[in-house]
Chains A and B, each alone.
Chain A
Amino acid sequence: MKTRLPEHGPLETPQYWRTLEERLETPEAQRAAHDEFLPGAAPGTFDDVHGLPPSQSGFSRRDFLGLVSATAALAATVACDRKGQGTVVPYTRRPVEVVPGVANYYASAFQEGRRVYPVLVKTREGRPIHLTGNDEHPGVKGKTSPRTMADVLRLYDPDRLRAPKAGGRTLGWAEAESQLHAVLTGAKATGKPVLLISGAVVSPTRKALLADLKAALPTLEHLAFEPAAGDAAEEAAKASYGQAVDLQPRLAKAKVILSLGADFLNGEDPESLAAWGAKRRLKNAHEAINRLWVLEGPLTLTGTNADQRVPVAPSRLGAVAFALAKELSTKAVSLPAGADLSAIAVGVPQGVDIPAETWSNLVKDLQHAGRNAVVLCGAQMPAEVHQAAHLLNAMLGSEAVAVRAAEPLATVKDLEGAVQGMAAGHYAALIFWDVNPAYAFPRAAAWQEAVAKVPFRAWIGQVEDETAAQCQVLLPENHWLENWGDFTTEHAEVLQQPTIGTLYDTRQGEDVFLGVIRALGGHAPASYHVYLQGRWQQTLPLGTTFEQALHDGLVTSESKAATPAFKGASVAAAAQHAAASKSEGLELVLFPGFATHDGRHANNSWLQETPDPITKMTWDNPVSVSVQDAKALGIQEGDFVTLSLEGATLRLPAVIQPGQAKGVITLALGYGRTTGGVAKGVGANAYPFMGLDPTRANVRGGARLAKAGGKKDLSRTQSHHRMEGRDIVRSLTMDEFAHNPKGHYHMPELVSLYEDQTFPDHKWGMVIDLAACVGCSACVVACQSENNVPVVGPEQVARGREMHWIRIDRYYEGELENPKVVHQPMLCQHCDNAPCENVCPVNATNHSPDGLNQMAYNRCVGTRYCGNNCPYKVRRFNFLEYTAYKTEPEILVNNPEVTVRPRGVMEKCSFCVQRINDVKIRAKGDGRAILDGEVTTACMAGCPSDAIVFGDLKDPKSKVAQLVNASRAYRVLEEVGAKPAITYLADLKNPAVEGGPHAS
């Protein structure tokens, strides 16, 4: 590390670290900290510009001079000819709502598993280009998930199947459908069953359609397959409530939250994140804050935001949770009728390392909070942990979780049953609808063998996948942005509408099934649109038209269904199970990938390149090993290891994960696809490790790990952009916040040789509240979509050349075994005295009169001096041509308001200047001032916990101007005098203090 400036630096700061090498101060880390670019990021020699070995890019001086003179001659010749200026093609008939150059917004919705995301789709000239949450929806309130935002890219995926196919031959819909109809008519006549496998059904109209289909084809069997939903959660719900349920946390009502491996802050659930943010954006220490307890094996994003976190192996979580219930039952929190906990001993279970003080604090917290406490369980945890969580919520009478009846999902057991049925020749036909069991079923070989015994297999989907390879007839499906649909959510019935005509000769799956119903002699309307609208017209509330519902994207309705009751009698068996549960050897936890989910997003390059919030890995799923196990096995970062479990073996790289419980290894699902231009060959497929026992399919004991020799150059963004040990992130406990919010940081008076900048009208600024930021990376994806940020691929990321304008830095503090974690979004700070501006030889980057650090791409000559001089490491250089070679359909997703940057120029966050200018011009046209909150940057609009606030610092009434003076406010590297326009508010942790207040 470089020496900290003694008189300017903080006097006493906690030591944060980003990587293990840095923490242990290895020579490599010290060298890396000293160098500006990673080895290989900046070209070493002239010959190395392509990142190719010199022999391939050999380019002599003679060649160079020859080319230069030829270019000059060519330029002179070309300039002598008058060039055409291109053509302008107007609409023949302009749709009334379209004004070229003006965006239109439509409400629609996206479904992922059982979760529904109501969205607003921004379209330009009829092309969807950007997604945000639907602000009319009372639950999500304008927010959505990173994967939802990125899904607009999938619409323009060049790998999409463009016409029906049979036996490798492209054919028309009529012919393809007639093949399907003939088989199904035959099946109906002979009475042989037909198996339909689809995703989760949360749409009332889709449910009705399936019922109609069943009526037309009585032998139809249906399985709703969601490989990432967590079979154990499904099994536990059946035991605890007697039916499938959907648990939605209501964190606004929670004072104490106990997470048993639940990752509810991972960006998937905008509603929880909004509630979390609201409870954390404190103005002063007297405001109410919640407390998050996390007991978990892997380090999840929720765990990184915990006030108090204890690493516990998932196999022991059940015992711990039931022991908590037992302890609470001895303290006047009554057990539900019929609940029997005699199998459980009082106190911390044996073999679990929870300090007595922590345990008693946790018990007290839950007891005092009562109805305002909630226990949440991770979907992948064993069934008994779920049941313990259900029990605890029932005991506490928790109001902070809504239990709703849901449509059941097929577990791995149901799939196994289907495989046996197929193998036995039970089925006449198989229809796969937007599912990929050939990839996601654990026993892939058995699956393939069984499927081959079914005489007819049809596939409905978007991109040919592993399952499509086993089918005779492939029917291309619309992207959801081309579809009609509807969904039931807790607060509203949500509509999905097409925002673009179909790009290719595709149809929506429902239309195929309507065709089947007609072919089988049933009665069905001509299209799903008519079918859906007909049903909606009957149920619309008085005074609401279908057009109004489409405009809003929803009709609000409170769920009428009765809350399923908890069955106390289910407790005894689960408690016995939990008490007996032991982990043997290493325990493998399989969880859905942050980027890929169950594998369906694997072909999305935006998501593949978004760094995992914890490991900061891109384009891969290495196995995460705890610090203790890595030491015992002699594994180092990036070492190839062999992971084996019951016959399944994988060779894959390992990363060492601080905070992960000893004996636990984790691996993300959704990688290792064998099809798709982006997805193919990225990472390894973890599904073969999934268990066939649905109660613990994702947590597998007895895994073996061994070094396999060799090391992988990890495409990891973590070790780049290091911060040289300065006081970059600040984290306060509530006690410190109450008594000494500025901490022990000493700020010297800043003297500048330059004249102060003046800002006549506006001074744009931003405040980022680290207490509300959970690190979910929604801002990263929102920025990528808004600003045409290119994807560079794994090799370039490994060289430190990723292009994201905003990144999330993740800092660890304290013990390797259970560190505290702080996430910090880092983007261009738009400094008043910007160090990058002074050094640009061509004045391509300079300051605007409204406080923006502007970047003129056409002036930039690519010296990279600015990037070198930026203390925040937020400038990005286009080392290669990343975008310009692209063609349709990929370029259709670009935002036409932002330049697509060519090779050789610097770029960086612009504070979404295109949005600022647009609002300015509109306000000027209306003859009014800009309103506070009218200008939103993409990251701010995308942030589900509202941690980012943007506005005009010159307006004293603006939200941002008030926040910059908050007691938690600080600016990063303030002491260097760059005067950044971004203010951070220190992170807050609310740990239980002995003798301190317990939430009540």
Chain B
Amino acid sequence: MAAPFDLNDDSVVVVIGTGAGGGVLSNELAQKGVSVVALEAGGRYLPEDYINDEWESFGQLAWLDARTTSGDWRVAKDFSGLPAWIVKAVGGTTTHWAGASIRFQDHEWKALTNYGAVDGASLLDWPIDGAEMAPWYDKAETKLGVTRTGDRAGLPGNNNYKVFEKGAKALGYKEVHTGRMAINSADYDGRLACQQTGFCFQGCKWGAKWSAAYTDIPAGEATGNLEVRERAHVARILHDDSGKVTGVEYFDKDGNLQMQKARIVCVAGNSFESPRLLLNSVSDMFPNGLANSSDQVGRNYMRHTTGSVYAVFDKPVRMWRGTTMAGIVQDEARHDPSRGFVGGYELETLSLGLPFMAAFLNPGGWGRSFTTALDSYENMAGMWIVGEDMPQATNRVTLSDVKDQYGLPVANVHFSDHPNDVAMRNHAYKQGQAIYEAVGATRTFPTPPYPSTHNLGTNRMSEKPEDGVCNKWGQTHDIANLFISDGSQFTTGAAENPTLTIVALAIRQADHIASEMAAGNI
């Protein structure tokens, strides 16, 4: 049967969310002839709709439904209702992401084995490894058109990169380049080359950056096997007496409750909404929520150890011009406990426009210490720290007392840094500041983490059912026809920006689901 599908059609796979996980999974299944209904809470925005204005774009794309926060992270104080800067739209956060596409390092798949047990951390090895993932990474890099992979050239360096590169090389760093980016350095796959416009975070108006919104989603729809229902907010997942899931209830664009039957349900709503949905799907049979016999749903929330370093020079940099994140130092990504922490971190170029710099440089800051920094905005360079943070069972998503517009309990996001996270961030601040001082910075700013963009864990993959929520295929340990398809299945976070890995896992999962369906196993 071709899309659109009937609500009572119980042969379809329902995918909840259309970002790097759900959007790719939906298309990959559709390409294999599987009928898919993708339910997306947000609306559809395409390059012509994107707005190159930070606050206006934020209002257009960001997930602004209620969430609550707790824990000692500074975000809970400065942005208490906004734990994450992620997107509510068809294509999800692939509209907003910066495009950095780097593979996990082999040792990172086995963090517990390679780092050893760390006090207070719930480290675990992934049930998969680099060798198993290599062919899926190849497919993901081809799909996204990642620069410096295949025969694709790197992007040219912008002003912000040139400052960063010179300082990094002065410090002796060797692995310094303009990154492996899902942003075209030449026309690719029907999409233009990067025009160095800036505003990568606001949706690429040229389509030079890969986003599921204008690649996988329309490609899947073109097969006739994928129906995307926009502004469909999923309330709960239903099951039968045998414990298999049978469909989902959602509020449609007009606020009416609907029920879509399903053969398989794949959850890809990101690391807040996915566990929230499972926890909200309570029943007599599953009083703690779906797939939660282990009590692991919502636990081990990770957000990468982040932070930024900005620096002011005596001459202009104009960091906002050009690709936002095309610049990386990888020398510190290694695991080297002699630095005082396990795991590693990447340093990547970053810039914010003046409005967001004012909001994020030192949230709550005021007076001349703050404003003289902004006075030198034109002379500023910036970088972002992204490192592996420690999974902790107490860092978790739970249901809040606050309800959303549909009367559903919202996610409370609890996070506190592990001492390893703090040690890593302080090391990265020091190195980042040294990079800029090596090229004559007159002032540097170790800037606190923003609301999270890399939201990981909360439905983690584990070999043993008691350690996590899903198995090596993202299939939940408890329910055979319920899958986790987004970053929430990450066992550990590694040091790398997660999107490439989410995409690789989604391609692999689609292959698995299609063959299991064909074999009649699910």
Do A and B interact with each other, yes or no?
no
Where the two chains meet, the residues of A that have a C-beta atom closer than 8 Å to any C-beta of B are none
